[in-house]
Amino acid sequence: MVDSGARFGATSATTTIVCRFPAEKELECRAGDADYVRGNASTPAGLQGPNHRFRVFAGLRDDPFFNNVKGTRGGL
């Protein structure tokens, strides 16, 4: 569930996001009644719903902000 509102702590809308993965590299996601996607979301651009209300990416990415804390401390 995702809540939103005009200011922090005062939400006025809730959307439930449900995703299923029926097969490898295949997904089905629904963002409430607002939008729906189905297909392979492992491409870098992901999938965008026909109503352009949300985009889904489900795949491997290189995280440049990963920090090996023990290795960093060991190097110091």
What would the pLDDT profile of 53-67 be if each residue is shown by its tens digit?
999 998 887 777 777
Nearest-angstrom CA–CA distance, 4 and 32:
14
Each residue's pLDDT tens digit, 10-69 = 999 999 999 999 998 899 999 999 999 999 988 888 999 999 999 999 888 777 777 778
Q: Decide if 20 is inside a domain.
A: yes
Is 40 a member of any domain? yes
Cα distance between residue 15 and residue 3, in whole Å: 6
Domain that holds residue 48: 2-59
The verdict on residue 24 lying in a domain is: yes
- At 72 the three-state DSSP class reads helix
**Is 70 a member of any domain?**
no
What is the number of domains present in the chain? 1
Predicted model pTM? 0.67
Sheet strands (E) in 1-76: 2-4, 13-15, 17-23, 26-31, 35-39, 47-48, 55-56
- Domain contains 27: yes
